[in-house]
Structure 1
Amino acid sequence: MLNKLKLQYLVFFLISMPINAQVIGDNNTPESIAVLKSIGEEKVTLHYSNSTLLSGENFFFKFYCKNDKNLPSDASKIGYVELVNEDLNVVIKQKILLKDGTGYSDFFIPTNLTTGGYKLIAYTNWMKNWGIDNFFQDDIFIINPFKSQKNILELADNMEHTDLLVIKDTEYLTKNLIISLDENIIKERQKVNVKVSTTNFDLDSGSYSVFVQKVENLKFKKYKSSAIEKKEVQSTQFYIPELRGELISGFLTNNQSKEKITNQIFTFNIPGKNYQLQTLKTDNQGKFIIDFDNNSEVNFGLIELINEFDIDFNVTIDNKETIDYGKLNFIKIKLDAMLKDDIVNRSIHNQIENAYYNVRPDTIILSQKKKPFYGDLGAKYYLDDFTRFPSFKETIVEIIDDVWISNDQNGYEVLKIKSYGEQYSDGSYKPLLIVDGIRLNTIKDLINYNTQNIKSITIVREKYILGANIFSGILDIETFNGDFGKSTNYSDAIKFTINPTSPKKKYFRQAYYSDSIRIPDYRHILYWNPEFIINKKDTHFDFYTSDVKGEFIISIKGFTFSGKPVDIEKEFIVQ
């Protein structure tokens, strides 16, 4: 197993090669293949809410990525979760940002999915090297109550009584982890206090998730096993681990000559509160690879050539290779016809809960604003502290020291920054101009911009090196709404679509006060915490029951500090 520093050097070397960002070609030497394999395999486990779902329900999961020592992997920062139907189509796909080998998200089961068996698939880009047999795979059964179920209903006399939820209980877990309640028979809308006890340090430092949900006892019959034997896959292609973030590749083309633009320096931007800015260079075939943090606030990126104003160009992003799911086996299930009323009632509960979602919403956790790439350098001018001027040129001249606008030899207006120690800007280097995280080649998009929208201007007068480029300084403009990159069409930049990772959420927790008594509550999942922490001795948490009666279960799953799996449950009754 390579250590993290060596792994970073290896990935840096690989993404510098003229190859697709996702895959290394067939021309690898045995030595390079051996180095790649020394990184070691990854394996993924998903802990999720329920194997049997109805249209209109939410599916919650936590993603665990482990190395070959069963410890959190540091080789991948992006995980992929897919739901595949019997026609081998990916009907739902999510990208998960991984931190310390874990991440979490959820997705909604739409009404356009038909009743039947589905495959839940989870993997990383690095795991593609060993084939889909090494991906996480599990069977999910979806019931669409809005469509006829006559082909899946069967009388109970012909059924096998099998529960989709397999309860694991080992001597290790029962001795070292105990879930206890004040009482095991609980009323509706009652607060439940839970105590989790342990004296084991290994459990104390692990990573866990907690579900509290209704036990849905569905009788069903499986007609085909979905078990797949793990096989060693020999391949001459190797996929690069997404060590720092997502990898995308493509090439630049001159629209006039139709030729690829080779050895060209350009910038890649993703706007937003924590914008991303990189300088890159195409290779001698016009190709590029971008390694970026895909936890962005917008769904697009911008590419702009540096110091090239007359080239009409286009950006082509390589399509990611489609995974062949032809070997998947899908379960065929018959449901007990006597459960039809239960399914209808559960569907009604879902519809009521969805109708009141705005009263009990989950909230997206916004990332905290970070320092820009230039750190604490520069002076920041908040324009509300000064007399505002109607034009950008007047604002620069009257407020910002050592910055001005003049005309170049072609008569175009250009921005000048006087670096420290200089009497004037000698023009050897141009300034780095940024607006809401977007680098601009010129100020032409700002000349007629409404300066009332500008919140602040930061000026860095030191010469700054970004990539292989030297700039005379930095002028960084922040607008009040941070939407310059969203609302402006740039004459010099090409916009292309990116699909961000699923946002991090804070999940709603019901609590009862006098003003919420009259709101119906038909939650089947009472509590979901994907970042549960077990402290030394006792850990406490609480939740409220709903108007739904029946058998419920508290489930704690995860991995201890040393990588041992944890799966322990506690049942209680709501009546």
Structure 2
Amino acid sequence: MRKILFLNLILACCCFGVSGQYVIKDGSELLSLQQLPQEKAYVDHTGPLVFSGEYLYYAFYCFNAQNNNPTNISRVGYVVLVNEEKEKIFEHKLNLDKGLAQGDFFVRTDIPSGRYKLLAYTQWMRNGGLDQVYTDDIVVINPYLTDQSAILTDPSEETNTANLKTENFPAGLMDSATVSVRLEKEIYGTREKVRLSVNNYKGPSGYGIYTLKVKRKEEIPVRPYLNATQYAKDFFNADKQIKQKVGDSIFLPEQRGELFYGAVYDSSTDKPVKDIPVIISIPGKEFILKFAQTDTQGNFYTYLNKEYKNTLALAQIEEENKMYSIKKGAVADLDLYNIDFSKFTLSDSYAPYIKERSVLNQLENQFFTAKPDSIIASDPIDPFDGGLPEEVFLDEFTRFPTFGETLVEVVKFAGYRSGGKDPDYIKISQDFETYNEEFNSFPAIVLIDGVFIPNHENIKSFDARKIEKISLVRDQFVLGGKQYQGMMTIETFEGDYLEEHTYGNSVAIPLKLPVAKKNYFKQDYDDEVMDFSRIPDYRGLLLWEPHVKVEASNYNFEFFTSDVEGIFEVILNGFTTYGKPITVVKEITVIKPNQ
């Protein structure tokens, strides 16, 4: 029997509002939700102090709050930086891979000096309020802006403030008997190779995932960043399950991918429309096609579970007899009313250091093209879900003016059929596999540049000179309970059909792309291809390994020091597979040779 390809399953109808929250209807539903463990998040980063012209790198960890293992619940996480006015400086969306993700943010020169808060969470965590959300303090110093009042010390309080900082923010080395770091020596020259090893002394008890970094030790007193050991203490009493009751609203977990939702209204009455199919397509060569159906309140939702490449989605309703309006839902912002910012002030005595560090940053950034990061390509999307398309490149044939004529003269196995009182539709011939297979008259799924075409008759006169190729898949599909015979995708040379799309019952909805995973540049003075001898090297961050997976007894790493002298911290920070926090801090000193 022919394998029927299901593009999407109809999601169970539920009372899901455009605010992104779901109302718990009864006790059995509450019990099911309570059986889903709550989550908690941790972020290792290269703060807590960052200057304009520097990157803030971070590694995201998400855990099952009941057993402290990496979560298998949420597939999307969020990292946000806010200022003291609770305004977002950045908001990053992350695709989680077994609870892990990574990212970075370049601190621009328009971001003022001040105290900021770094937050990390999943939508499921938001049900526990701000106490469930990871938060840590970030201080930004921007010497390029005139106003420094947010961080400058009142001269009359300068002495007392300095003493207070020294007492509250002690620095110290840390080690662990489970997993540790070994170095060959403690003093290195500039541009010298450093070899270090991560040693696991406890076998399976030391297996886990850790962040490894080597960064210049801060000379300005600042509250230390939240390491794994302190985090485990602070979040020991984090919620293990949701505390909401029947009738309460909750944020649903993004278990199958990013949640995409909205509502449909009758344009003439502005009332919600129930039980109406909604087609969601994300255009492009690697298009995504999804289906949803509105509930009794006119709301619809689906999950985007593939790494889409386009920043626009198109939501459409096939019915043309009435006019509808489609509104995209938006999740409410985090309630940051009770968030507090740590105290930080700065005296004029640090002006020479700030000037030196800022000059070095400028010089380092002048040569960023010689030290590029690379984006790790995401897995390609198969729009046909395993089907093998038959491709027709129109330049290989005599061209005809319209798409309709091209189907007749060039494309085999596809053509227009009469719809009777309904519009004509495109039919793709069945690829019969058995002699007794029943004939069907189902229409084809048709897309132009990944845009779903609900009315095939409307594209009969489409200018075929714009078309590069036509692809056919002759399998049978089911989309939202409706059967289709085959799929036809039409690719134009420019790939811009969405820009001229004028179908009435549709709306283009902006999408924010998840943060791309990167391979970060690693300085290598042994490189025989690239000569770095004439390129300045003023890196303050010598090594950044966001996630080191430890599954053996020993791992070796190499990196090179830069032209920056001083004390550098070697930090290993993370969690064993049993949830035990590990924090190791060691130091090396970098000085110029012959000093």
Check whether TM > 0.5.
Answer: yes
Equivalent in the alignment of 1:192? 194
Give 1:525's aligned residue: 541
In the alignment, the residues of structure 2 paired with residue 238 and residue 320 of structure 1 have an alpha-carbon distance, to the nearest angstrom, of 11
The reply on whether 1:348 has 2:359 as its aligned counterpart is yes
Counterpart of 1:49 in structure 2: which amino acid?
T
Unaligned runs of 5+ in 1: 1-11
Of 47, 51, 61, the match for 2:48:
51
* Aligned equivalent of 1:146, options 137, 144, 161: 144
Alignment of 1:439-450 (within 5 A): 439-443=452-456, 444-445=458-459, 447-450=461-464
Using the aligned pairs only, state the percent identity: 27
CA distance in 2, matches of 1:163, 1:47: 21
Provide the rounded CA distance (Å) in 1 between the counterparts of 2:441 and 2:472. Answer: 18
Distance 1:552 1:156, change over 3 A: farther
Contact 2:264/2:327, CA 8 A, preserved across alignment: yes
Query: Is contact 1:78–1:124 with CA below 8 Å preserved after alignment?
Result: yes
Q: 1:234-267 CA distances to partner (integer Å, 9 max, x unpaired)?
A: 5433221111112232212233454433321121
Cα distance in 2 for partners of 1:46, 1:324 equals 20
Alignment deviations for residues 55-92 of structure 1 (CA, whole Å, 9 cap, x no partner): 22211111111111100111211111122222222332
Contact 2:431 2:475 in 1 (8 A): yes
In 2, distance between residues paired with 1:410 and 1:138?
64
Which of 163, 167, 174 pairs up with 1:169?
174
CA offset at residue 14 of structure 1? Answer: 8.9
Structure 1 distance, partners of 2:169, 2:463, is: 60
Partner in structure 2 of residue 271 of structure 1: 283
Contact 2:10 2:481 in 1 (8 A): no
Counterpart CA distance in 2 for 1:123 and 1:365 is: 24
Q: How far apart, CA to CA, are the structure 2 residues paired with 1:453 and 1:354? A: 44
Counterparts of 1:36-75 in structure 2 under 5 Å?
Answer: 36-67=33-64, 68-75=66-73
The CA distance in 2 between the partners of 1:336 and 1:509, in whole Å, is 35
TM-score (norm 1): 0.86
Distance 1:411 1:44 in 2: 54
Q: How far is the alpha carbon of 1:206 from its aligned partner? A: 1.8
Map 1:51-130 → 2, pairs under 5 A:
51-67=48-64, 68-130=66-128
Distance 2:400 2:210 in 1: 55
Question: Match of 1:297?
Answer: 309
What secondary structure does 2:368 align onto? coil
Distance (whole Å) between structure 1 residues aligned to residue 206 and residue 243 of structure 2: 40
Q: Which residue of 2 aligns with 1:283?
A: 295
The answer (yes or no) to whether the contact 1:156–1:337 under 8 Å persists in 2 is: no
The answer to whether residue 564 in structure 2 is matched with residue 567 in structure 1 is: no
Q: How many residues end up aligned between the 2 structures? A: 552
- Residue 240 of structure 1 aligns with which residue? 252
2:337 to 326, 329, 335: 326
**Equivalence for 2:185:** 183
Question: What do the CA deviations read for 1:526-555 (whole angstroms, capped 9, x no partner)?
Answer: 221213233523212222222211111222
Gapped regions of structure 2 (runs ≥ 5): 1-8, 225-232
1:107 corresponds to which letter in structure 2?
F
Q: Give the Å deviation of 1:284.
A: 3.0
CA distance in 2, matches of 1:338, 1:126: 46
Report the equivalent of 1:6: none
The Cα offsets for residues 307-364 of structure 1, whole Å up to 9 and x where unpaired, read as x234433211223123221111212212243211111221222223333323323222
Q: Which residue of 1 aligns with 2:374?
A: 363
1:486-497 to 2 correspondences below 5 Å: 487-492=499-504, 493-497=506-510
- 1:7 is matched with which residue? none
**Local SS of the residue matching 2:371:** coil
Using a 3 Å threshold, how does the CA distance of structure 1 residues 15 and 53 change in structure 2: closer, same or farther? Answer: farther
Pair 1:29-2:26 in alignment: yes
Alpha-carbon separation, structure 1, partners of 2:557 and 2:373: 19
Structure 2 counterpart of 1:433, one-letter code: V
Cα distance, 1:51 vs. partner?
Answer: 0.4
* AA partner of residue 508 (structure 1): F
CA shift for structure 1 position 15: 6.0
| SS class of match (2:475) | coil
> Secondary structure at the residue paired with 1:43?
strand
The one-letter code sitting in structure 1 at the alignment partner of 2:534 is: R
What is the RMSD computed on CA atoms of the aligned residues? 3.3
After superposing the two structures, state which structure 1 stretch, 131-140 or 199-208, moved more.
Answer: 199-208
State the AA in 2 paired with 1:201: G
Partners of 1:399 and 1:193 in 2: how far apart? Answer: 64
